[in-house]
């Protein structure tokens, strides 16, 4: 009974929070046209979808159609003077079990225009900045600016959403456009994200009582697009450390998590066809957590290949194949299953996704998107440290999702 009351309270609170955010968004939108002038810019998006996951608790603990697919966002930018710009974005997200439900500040920063001329742009950002280092990292929650409703979980793992989205710190962007070289963009950032107890529970499991903290997050990326070329090439590096401090009632001990990732990407944008791929290797070192002195090192690998075809100015089709392995030396999960005495099935060691999607632009600001995923493996389900093998007792599962989105 108590659980039922708490659950109803949470639903009610979420509903009120989402409603308030939507109200604020709509009233802001009504003024946005008047507000947009030389110094001000405001933009936003509203979307609601239906999602049906068959076989796992990726979105909900119960199978069936769910409305846990809401994304609302509003941003504003104000040019204070020739050098300084203030900007920020707030979003409300509800993705069920995928990430923590609620409103949050995506970015809130001061943008200093350090240097610029006809060929160079150098900007320094201070505050909460967004991760701009992967192909879709800065627009992963922006429905009309990403290729699919559910992004490739190997790179854009929803469980890491709040950590991977951005950090509090500083970022530098250097852009060069040359007549023969083409366009080059370099991004460097250093900061840290705060981890809420909900985030810790999402990643480590419900039994967590202690506190998690990101010590630092350092990232670098470089992108190059040859002049007038449909091709773009990118490479990024990520280095980050986390720690976990246990409490006396905890089943875990203190822990350290060290994480490095190397990602490459290629994008082709033709008149009708678009191709994109991202491929990465990540080194992961876990110390402690289960008992003092415990240590485990693994090297994960992932990649996807995506094709989009613009059938008409309104209709676009998508197909994507994706592979992810938690440990490249245990791709079939046999060591994982043996090491956990069979408690964690072998298919928690990988996740392979085959996706087909379509979207239709009803007009320049309204889109309907649909997609189907067939997935083998459950490596990208939360929690990752203590996987829920009881609820996720199938290797093969699928997702059917539909989303209506509006932006301005």
Cα dist. 82→78, 86, 116 in Å? 11, 12, 11
Q: How far apart (Å, rounded) are the C-alpha atoms in residues 298 and 125?
A: 34
Q: Give the binding range for another protein (CB under 8 A) out of 2-10, 15-23, 150-158, 176-184.
A: 176-184
Under the binding rule (CB under 8 A), the answer on residue 75 touching another protein is yes
- Nearest in space to 102 (alpha carbons), one of 161, 156, 49: 161
Nearer to another protein, 209 or 310 (CB): 310
Under the binding rule (CB under 8 A), the answer on residue 191 touching another protein is no
- Cβ at position 132, least distance to another protein in Å: 5
The residue within the footprint of another protein, chosen from 54, 116, 194, 207 (CB under 8 A), is: 116
The site string for another protein over 210-249 (x = CB under 8 A, - otherwise) reads -----------------xx---------------------
Q: How far apart (Å, rounded) are the C-alpha atoms in residues 35 and 373?
A: 41
The site string for another protein over 23-62 (x = CB under 8 A, - otherwise) reads -------------x-x--x-x-x-----------------
Under the binding rule (CB under 8 A), the answer on residue 129 touching another protein is yes
Q: How far apart (Å, rounded) are the C-alpha atoms in residues 98 and 101?
A: 9
Q: Which helix (H) or strand (E) holds 218?
A: strand 211-225
187 and 173 in contact (C-beta within 8 Å)?
Answer: yes
Q: Give the binding range for another protein (CB under 8 A) out of 11-19, 82-90, 209-217, 298-306.
A: 82-90
Q: Give the binding range for another protein (CB under 8 A) out of 24-32, 63-71, 263-271, 288-296.
A: 263-271
- Cβ at position 119, least distance to another protein in Å: 8
Nearer to another protein, 15 or 115 (CB): 115
Under the binding rule (CB under 8 A), the answer on residue 97 touching another protein is no
DSSP 195: -
Please state the length of the chain: 408
CA dihedral 183, 318, 265, 406 (to 10 degrees): 60
What value, to the nearest 5°, has the Cα angle with vertex 114 and ends 73 and 43? 15
Cα dist. 58→12, 13, 33, 194, 317 in Å? 22, 22, 39, 24, 24
Using CB under 8 A as the criterion, which residues of the chain lie in contact with another protein when the complex forms?
Answer: 36, 38, 41, 43, 45, 73, 75, 77, 79, 82, 85, 87-89, 106-107, 109, 111, 113, 116-119, 121, 123, 125, 129-130, 132, 138-139, 142, 144-145, 173, 175, 177, 179, 183, 227-228, 269-271, 310, 313, 361, 363-364
């Amino acid at each position: 009974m108590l659980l039922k009351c708490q659950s109803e309270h949470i639903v009610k609170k979420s509903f009120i929070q989402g409603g308030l955010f939507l109200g604020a968004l709509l009233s802001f939108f009504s003024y946005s046209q008047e507000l947009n002038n030389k110094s001000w810019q405001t933009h936003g998006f509203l979307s609601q979808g239906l999602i049906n996951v068959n076989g796992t608790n990726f979105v909900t603990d119960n199978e069936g159609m769910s409305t846990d697919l809401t994304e609302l966002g509003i941003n504003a930018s104000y040019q204070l003077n020739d050098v300084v710009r203030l900007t920020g974005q707030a979003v409300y997200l509800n993705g069920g079990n995928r990430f923590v439900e609620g409103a949050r500040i995506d970015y809130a920063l001061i943008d200093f225009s350090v240097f610029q001329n006809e060929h160079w742009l150098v900007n320094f950002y201070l505050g909460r900045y967004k991760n701009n280092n992967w192909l879709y990292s800065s627009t992963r929650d922006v429905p009309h600016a990403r290729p699919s409703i559910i992004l490739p979980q190997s790179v854009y793992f929803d469980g890491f959403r709040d950590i991977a989205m951005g950090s509090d710190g500083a970022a530098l962007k250097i852009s060069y456009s040359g007549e023969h070289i083409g366009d080059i963009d370099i991004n460097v950032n250093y900061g840290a994200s705060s981890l809420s107890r909900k985030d810790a529970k999402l990643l480590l499991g419900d039994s967590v009582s202690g506190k998690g903290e990101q010590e630092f997050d350092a990232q670098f990326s470089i992108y190059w697009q040859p002049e007038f070329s449909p091709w773009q090439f990118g490479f990024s590096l990520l280095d980050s450390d986390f720690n976990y401090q246990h409490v006396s009632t905890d089943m875990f001990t203190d822990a350290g998590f060290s994480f490095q990732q190397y990602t490459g990407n290629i994008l082709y944008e033709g008149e009708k066809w678009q191709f994109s791929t991202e491929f990465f290797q990540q080194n992961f070192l876990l110390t402690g957590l289960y008992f003092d002195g415990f240590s485990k090192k693994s090297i994960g690998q992932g990649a996807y290949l995506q094709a989009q075809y613009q059938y008409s100015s309104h209709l676009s089709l998508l197909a994507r194949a994706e592979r992810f392995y938690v440990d490249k030396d245990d791709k079939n999960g046999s060591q994982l299953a043996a090491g956990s005495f069979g408690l964690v099935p072998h298919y928690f060691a990988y996740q392979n996704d085959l996706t087909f999607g379509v979207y239709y632009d009803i007009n320049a600001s309204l889109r309907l998107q649909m997609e189907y995923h067939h997935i083998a493996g459950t490596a990208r389900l939360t929690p990752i440290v203590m996987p829920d093998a009881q609820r996720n007792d199938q290797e093969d599962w699928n997702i059917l999702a539909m989303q209506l989105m509006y932006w301005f």
